[in-house]
């Protein structure tokens, strides 16, 4: 991180919040001059109230990164997609892209497919996609995925449950005991729907943590 970078009053307050997780005396004391404060000046204020230089530096580093989360697609109230976008100020070099691909393969335990087309770079593995592309004055690293099996399980579960209701209500005729068959279909259908629903939160949390970890490592990979 450049030592010449100056932070305005809002950024100084945010750095203290990120370093401590709460509003601090250091944040209240920080009255930056009109042209802002350097990281060294912020570290000095933090030291006066017991915040280590490392904590301040990590908080300032995280402020350099802008990561956005898209609202997820949902299934029965649970997230069935995860998307994070990291904004960076320049394109990745070939070497940096190669190291990012290696990191992606380790993180998701998948070889994936690599594509380079002009300024666009992509790594995809089924529903899991990572794209690096121009965005505004810089670039965006867009990471997204969705749980593919949910659609199939949802359709099958809904179909079985619906058939069960039709058998129980007599809309569909069947040899033997239609109520027993209907209950069997309903149980199977609800079981499929429940299985799809119950596995989603853990899956989404894992994917979000993986993407956020990548968002932390990419600036370091770029030497920022």
Element spanning 138, H or E: strand 138-146
Q: Do residues 135 and 217 both lie within one domain?
A: yes
Q: Classify residue 214: in a domain, yes or no.
A: yes
More confident residue, 90 or 105: 105
pLDDT range class, residue 108, cuts 50, 70, 90: very high
The tens digit of pLDDT for each residue in 177-204 reads: 888 887 887 888 787 777 778 888 999 9
Query: Has residue 95 got a pLDDT over 90?
Result: yes
Structural domain harbouring 10? 6-64
Q: Do residues 113 and 174 both lie within one domain?
A: no
Q: Do residues 80 and 34 both lie within one domain?
A: no
Residues 41-60: b if buried by 16+ CB within 10 A, e if exposed: bbbebbeeeebeeebbbebb
Q: Do residues 125 and 82 both lie within one domain?
A: yes
Residues 180/188, Cβ–Cβ less than 8 Å: no
- Mean pLDDT over 157-171 rounds to 78
Q: Do residues 127 and 87 both lie within one domain?
A: yes
For position 24, what pLDDT does the model report?
46
Q: Do residues 141 and 214 both lie within one domain?
A: yes
Average pLDDT, the chain: 82
Query: Has residue 30 got a pLDDT over 50?
Result: no
Q: Classify residue 100: in a domain, yes or no.
A: yes
Q: Do residues 58 and 158 both lie within one domain?
A: no
Q: Do residues 190 and 98 both lie within one domain?
A: no
Q: Do residues 77 and 114 both lie within one domain?
A: yes
Residues 87/101, Cβ–Cβ less than 8 Å: no
Q: Do residues 79 and 132 both lie within one domain?
A: yes
* Residue that finishes a domain, picked among 64, 82, 100: 64
Q: Which of 96, 100, 91 is nearest to 211 (CA)?
A: 100
* Number of domains forming the structure of the chain: 3
Q: Do residues 134 and 217 both lie within one domain?
A: yes
End-to-end CA distance of the chain: 6
pLDDT range class, residue 164, cuts 50, 70, 90: confident
Q: Do residues 140 and 211 both lie within one domain?
A: yes
Q: Classify residue 157: in a domain, yes or no.
A: yes
Q: Classify residue 52: in a domain, yes or no.
A: yes
Q: Classify residue 1: in a domain, yes or no.
A: no
pTM of the full structure = 0.63
Query: What is the CATH classification number for the domain harbouring 87?
Result: 3.30.530
């Amino acid at each position: 991180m450049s030592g010449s970078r100056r932070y305005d009053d809002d950024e100084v307050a945010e750095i203290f919040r990120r370093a401590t997780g709460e509003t601090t005396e250091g944040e209240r004391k920080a009255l930056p001059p009109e042209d802002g404060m350097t990281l060294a000046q912020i570290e000095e204020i933090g030291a006066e109230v017991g915040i280590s230089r490392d904590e301040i530096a990590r908080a300032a580093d995280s402020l350099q990164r802008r990561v956005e989360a898209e609202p997820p697609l949902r299934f029965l109230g649970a997230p069935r997609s995860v998307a994070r976008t990291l904004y960076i100020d320049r394109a990745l070099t070939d070497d940096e892209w190669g190291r990012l691909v290696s990191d992606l393969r380790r993180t998701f335990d998948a070889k994936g497919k690599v594509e380079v087309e002009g300024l666009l770079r992509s790594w995809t593995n089924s529903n899991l996609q990572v794209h690096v592309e121009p965005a505004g004055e810089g670039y965006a690293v867009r990471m997204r995925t969705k749980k593919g099996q949910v659609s199939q399980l949802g359709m099958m579960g809904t179909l079985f449950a619906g058939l069960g209701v039709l058998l129980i209500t007599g809309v569909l005729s069947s040899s033997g005991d239609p109520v027993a068959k209907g209950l069997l279909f309903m149980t199977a259908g609800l079981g499929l729907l429940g299985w799809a629903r119950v596995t989603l939160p853990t899956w989404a949390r894992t994917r979000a943590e993986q993407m956020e970890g990548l968002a932390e490592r990419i600036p370091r990979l770029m030497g920022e």
